[in-house]
Amino acid sequence: MDMRFDLAQNGAAPAALRPRPIDACTICLVRDAAICADLCDADRAALSRIGRRVSVKAGQTVMWEGDDSSIVANVIEGTLKLSTSTGGGREQIVGVVYPSDFIGRPFGARTPHSVTALTDARLCLFPRGSFDGFATGHGALQHRLLQRTLDELDRTRAWMLLLGRKSAREKVATFLIDIGRRLRGDRDGVIALPLSRQQIADVLGLTIETVSRQMTDMKRQGLIDLVGRRGVRLVDEAALERLAEIS
C-alpha cells in the first residue's frame, strides 16, 4: 500500500489514518532514546503539541524519494526500510530503521530516500517546517540531531566496509548481530526478522541462495536457531561477533 502522509497541507492525513493527538510523553515507549530525550518536560510537551501519533501498516510508504521534505518522525514501534531507485528502476534497500530512530530530512528541501514500513508501525510525526522552527530554538534538540547525524555517518562507513571487504559469512553474521541489538525477541528469545531472505540478500549484496546457505550453516554450528519462516534465535552471540569481526 502506497499512501503519502502530508501534515504540511491543511494538517490533514488520509481519512483511514487520521492522526490522533499524542498522549502524554510520559507513556512513550522510546522517550529515553528518541530525538527528544534530552528535552526538559516542558519543552517535550511543547514539541508533542506540534506532532501527531499515526499508525502505519506493513507495506505502506510514508516518505517518497525526491519528494518535498514535508514531514519528519520518531519511530515508536515497528521496523521500516530506507530505499532508493537505481537508474534501471530497481529498488535498493540502503538502510533499516527501528524504534527510537528518527526518519525524514530536517532542514532539507528533498527527501533523499523512500521510507516504507516492513512491519506494522507507529510514528510520532511532525510537519518538517514546524519541527525545524522548534529545533532552531532548542539547543538540546539540535545537539541530538547532530549526534544522530554523526552516528549515521559512522554506520555508513561501517556498512561500506561490510559491503566492500567482508565475506558472505561475515556479512550475514554482522546483519544478525545488528538485528539482535535493535529488536526484542519473544519470551523464548526468538526475533521476528522484518526482512525476507531476498531483502536480506539485497541489503548485503548477496544472492538469496548464499544468505540461506550461510544461515543454515550457522544453525548447524549451533550459533543460531531458525524458527518458522522468519524467526531466529541468537544462541551464541559471542561466537557470532567473532565471526563478524565485531570487537
Please give the pLDDT value at position 152. 82
Q: Tell me which CATH code domain 166-244 carries.
A: 1.10.10.10
Cell matching residue 232? 531466529
Q: Where in the chain is the domain with CATH 2.60.120.10?
A: 15-160
CA distance 75 to 33: 11
Question: Of all residues in the chain, what percent carry a pLDDT higher than 70?
Answer: 89
Please give the pLDDT value at position 5. 53
CA distance 195 to 213: 17
The model carries a pTM of: 0.80
Alpha helix positions (H), the chain? 41-50, 128-136, 139-165, 168-182, 197-204, 208-220, 237-244
pLDDT, one tens digit per residue, over 107-157 is: 988 998 999 999 999 999 999 999 999 999 999 899 998 988 888 888 778
| Torsion angle of C-alpha atoms 209, 183, 233, 245, degrees rounded to 10 | 70
Cell matching residue 122? 507507529
Residue 215, φ and ψ in degrees, nearest 5:
-70, -35
User: C-alpha distances in angstroms, 64 versus 44, 93, 173?
Assistant: 28, 13, 31
pLDDT, one tens digit per residue, over 147-188 is: 888 888 887 787 777 777 889 999 999 999 999 998 989 999
Question: What is the average per-residue pLDDT within 41-64?
Answer: 92
Does the domain at 15-160 match CATH 2.60.120.10? Answer given as: yes
Q: Which residues lie below 8 Å from residue 154, measured CB to CB, with a gap of 6+? A: none
pLDDT, one tens digit per residue, over 199-221 is: 999 888 899 999 999 999 999 99
Q: Where in the chain is the domain with CATH 1.10.10.10?
A: 166-244
Please give the pLDDT value at position 246. 67
User: C-alpha distances in angstroms, 106 versus 146, 177, 193, 196, 225?
Assistant: 11, 30, 29, 30, 40
CA distance 222 to 241: 14
Higher per-residue confidence, 164 vs 244: 244
Ranges assigned E (strand) in 42-143: 52-56, 61-63, 71-77, 80-85, 91-97, 102-104, 114-117, 121-127
